[in-house]
Amino acid sequence: MASVVEPDLKTRRWRRMEYERLVDLGIFVGERLELLDGLLVVREPQGSPHAAIVTQVGQVLASAFGAGWHVRLHAPLALDEDSEPEPDVAVVAGTPRDYINAHPSTAALVVEVADSSLRLDRRLKGGLYARAGLPEYWVVNLVDGLLEVHRAPQPVADAAYGWAYRSVDILRPPATVTPLAAPGARIPVAALLP
């Protein structure tokens, strides 16, 4: 990934704890940001299809996972010291009250709904999620009308952040998908798409 920063220009990478402190102080009120590997990245605005599908995916996954799991929409994951992305959907163990004092640091499943963000979601966010060891990452690809199921994170020298998912399955309706952490669930891919 080519840098757009001038060679003589000094930049500063942010740590997650610094970022959270600035959020607590209200520095970023009204801004849609997330911390990706030390960089503050402006989140893209959401169109109606994106917002509707995020909600739909959250409802489908809440039903598929059931008790003992909590589905978070647009909420932070404290992946490591340099990253706090806000995935569209994350399925985490427990209940909302379990995360009053700190954001979860892992998830059984993370989902990004991608239209204009497809490249970012595939490469950069996929690399971050793989580096954090998240076992499963889905991209609901609104551009091509399909579901990308990423599994088996592993180190890959030329991948973003040095990690990628070894297995990527492309699913279209009428296929079904079963989340790794909910082996009894069979989710129609069509239920995740517009």
Q: Which of 55, 34, 193, 49 is nearest to 120 (CA)?
A: 34
**Torsion angle of the four alpha carbons 139, 144, 147, 151, in this order, in degrees rounded to the nearest 10:** -60
Among the listed residues 99, 63, 104, the one whose alpha carbon sits nearest the alpha carbon of residue 187: 63
Confirm or reject CATH 3.90.1570.10 for domain 47-192, answering yes or no: yes
- pLDDT digit of tens for each residue in the chain (194 aa)? 444 555 666 768 889 889 888 888 888 888 888 888 888 888 877 889 999 999 999 999 999 999 999 999 999 999 999 999 999 999 999 999 999 999 999 999 999 999 988 998 998 999 999 999 999 999 999 999 999 999 999 999 999 899 999 999 999 999 999 999 999 999 999 999 99
Does residue 167 sit in helix, strand or coil? strand
CA distances from 42 to 66, 120, 151 (A): 33, 12, 27
| 36 closest CA partner among 121, 139, 133, 157 | 121
Q: What is the DSSP letter of 84?
A: B
Predicted TM-score (pTM) of the model is: 0.87
